[in-house]
Amino acid sequence: MRSRTRLRLAVGAAAGLAPASCTAILGLGDYAVHPVRDAGQDVAVDAAEIDARSPVDASPKDVADAPDISTDVISCDVDLTVQCFPCAPRAPLEFLNGCTAATCVPFDDSTRLANLLPDGGLPPLPPFDGGGD
Amino acid sequence: MCRIFPAAIAAMFGVAVVARPALAWAVTCDALPNLEHSATAPPVVYVEGSGAARALLGPLQAALSVDAKPMYLVFVGDGGCLGAGNFIATQPMSRKVKPVYYTGQVQATCDLPATVGAANLAVSDAYAATCGLDLPTDVADLPGPIQPMLFVVPKASTQRSISAAGAYFVFGFGAASGVSPWDNSGSIYRLDASSATQALLAAAIRVPSRQWQGVDAGSLPASAMAGIAGADAVVNALATDAAPEHAIGILAGGDFGSTAADRIAVLAYKERGQSCGYFPDSTATAHDRANVRDGHYPLWGPLHFFARVDTSGVPLDANVARVLSYITGAAAPPGGVDPVGVDAASGLVPSCAMHVARVGEMGSLMSFAPQGSCGCYFDYVSTGQSSCVKCAKRADCPATAPVCNLSNPVGYCETQ
């Protein structure tokens, strides 16, 4: 019962909050969670695995408005350049790109940074001249 | 953002600080008058270092000034690396800024005596190594609350975010940054090399602190005329820059008080490998530090308190041990001061409200589930509300948050 509840929290919070999280104010419509429905799986069977990879921030506040979609299963194998991470994060990039209801504001390096190297890398710093004072 | 500074903090949490200008008469810090409860001169404990600790220490200074066992906690906010360096090397405290103390809950300043020794305790925004310091075996680094570091712009700026690579160009190349509109070196405001705030951000954006371009805001004539330095100088420079769209600076989260919030704005920050930039809080105007707590905003580190200790790690000075016990939560502070509430009002996050941790400066993020978690209560004091279940005993709590944490003024069901 507890596993099922936690699964509902995990899936519901991720599915309910993630789409709003990264599209909040700047129309990043392509940066969203796409829950993978696996109709053939019994939710209870995968509960342990989902527990281990469920959103850690499924606080009561987050969960309150989340829909009950207990038969959905979230895939944690996502392309973080286009999707937020819908599961309990473990790796640094998963924390940085975790699905969230927080406002995100883009900064497009490719258009904002005129001095990137052709390969997109950073040039070495100039010789230090004592600063700009 | 609206941060509340010592007077309001103290009023909220039981200590009535009177927010008045410094007392007019000159007094040396080692000859402060007897306090209300003291027939003899109370002990004087000097804390030197990060100015960002001002808001954190203020309520404690005020409470100790009227405690039954009074103490003068004198704060010299001259810079984290400078303070830590002086302390570790047992060098005299600097005279860069006026020391601040409280008497009868009133904030005042004093003058360091003609012959001054090393501080009793140091505080830094960064690890000793980040400041280029070796930590001797008799000095302990005791972590305090978590502090975010900020890129900030004038209120009049339309800019909302910056990336790690963008900051590399702006602060590493100055006028040649190629990052419009931040390509005027005279409007890129930094701190000086003694700043641990700058040292931490230097590690984050990979521009060594001594190689930062731009202007040391504290060296500006306007700062000298106003008698301000450090974070105050950055805020003033940004707020008065004639070309606000071109202006950018840095601050420690503990320095972003209500006065600063009226004049400058925090930028969202996009880390390498991150698809979008995030504010320290869940929105530009929230106060919840949600993105610091869950790992979306990576520019943070603990405040570091440096103290001389014995071979068991116990502070050698009993007064220092007493102060540290309040800061680290080992003992309840005097005067009803609420540590979580003070952290929240100071722009800081107690470790018990964090969901991520790291080892070392800007180390990799990892999951963190503290015993005695206080995330719900932190939400309550930082935002005025919490969606968690209030409790008076464990039986009040649901299975998803089974622990009733009663160590704070309001009990909430926490995860553990």
Give the tens place of pLDDT for each residue, A25-84.
Answer: 332 333 333 333 222 232 222 333 333 444 433 333 333 333 444 446 778 989 998 899
Task: Note whether B275 contacts A81, CB cutoff 8 Å.
Answer: yes
Question: Which pLDDT belongs to residue B89?
Answer: 97
Give 10-residue mean pLDDT values along chain B (416 residues).
39 39 67 70 93 94 93 94 97 94 92 94 98 96 97 98 98 97 97 93 96 95 88 95 97 88 95 96 95 98 98 96 93 93 95 96 95 93 93 91 88 90
Scanning every residue of chain A, which has its alpha carbon at the shortest distance from the alpha carbon of B178?
A114
- Rounded Cα gap, residues A72 and B249, in angstroms: 46
* Residues 6+ away with beta carbon under 8 Å from B284: A103, B1, B160, B265, B266, B268
AA identity, residue B271:
E
Cβ pairs bridging A and B (under 8 Å): 162
Cross-chain residue pair B166–A128, CB shorter than 8 Å: no
Rg, Å, chain B Cα set: 21
Predicted pLDDT of residue B35:
64
Nearest CA in chain A to B369: A56
Contact A112 B180 (CB under 8 A): yes
Our CA angle for B36, B38, B42, nearest 5°, is: 110
CB contact under 8 A, A112 and B188: no
B45, HSE (Cβ side, Cα atoms, 13 Å):
21
The two structure tokens encoding residue A29: 């419509």
Residue of chain B minimizing CA distance to A28: B276
| Candidate from B175, B212, B294 with C-beta closest to A98 | B294
Sequential DSSP letters for A90-125: -SHHHHHTB--SS-EE---HHHH-TT--TTS-PPPP
Which of B172, B188, B356 lies at the smallest CB-CB distance from A95?
Answer: B356
More confident residue, A19 or B304: B304
Q: Which tokens is B213 given?
A: 């371009």
Question: Chain B residue with minimal CA distance to A96?
Answer: B296
Tokens of A65: 């408005």
Cross-strand partners of B306: B122, B141
C-alpha span between B221 and A85 (Å, rounded): 49
Q: How far apart, in Å, do the first and last CA atoms of chain A sit?
A: 65
Q: Give CA separation, B364 vs A88, A96, B308, B360, in Å.
A: 16, 11, 29, 8
Judged against a pLDDT cut of 60, whether residue A18 lies above it is answered with no
Taking an 8 Å cut-off on Cβ atoms, the answer to whether B276 and A31 are in contact is: yes
DSSP lists the bridge partners of residue B104 as: none
Contacts of B268 in chain A (CB under 8 A): 103-105, 107
Give A52-65 pLDDT, tens digit per residue: 444 433 333 333 33
Mutate which of A57, A83, A107, A122 to test chain B, going by most B C-beta atoms within 10 A?
Answer: A107
Say whether A126 and B176 touch across the interface (CB within 8 A): yes
The answer to whether the Cβ–Cβ distance between B273 and A92 falls below 8 Å is: yes
3-class DSSP state of B377: helix
Interface TM-score (ipTM) > 0.90: no
Is residue A24 classed as helix, strand or coil in its secondary structure? coil
| Least Cα separation, residue B102 to chain A (angstroms) | 36
Contact yes or no for A102 and B160 at CB 8 A: no
Structure tokens at B409: 């003024």
Burial class (CB in 10 A: 0-12, 13-18, 19+), B118: middle
- Residue pair B234/B152 in contact by the 8 Å Cβ criterion: yes
- Does B388 contact A101 at a Cβ distance shorter than 8 Å? no
Structure tokens given for B214? 């731009």
- B273: how many CB neighbours lie within 10 A of its CB? 12
Cα gap B223→B349, rounded to integer Å: 30
Task: Nearest chain B residue to A32 by CA: give it.
Answer: B275
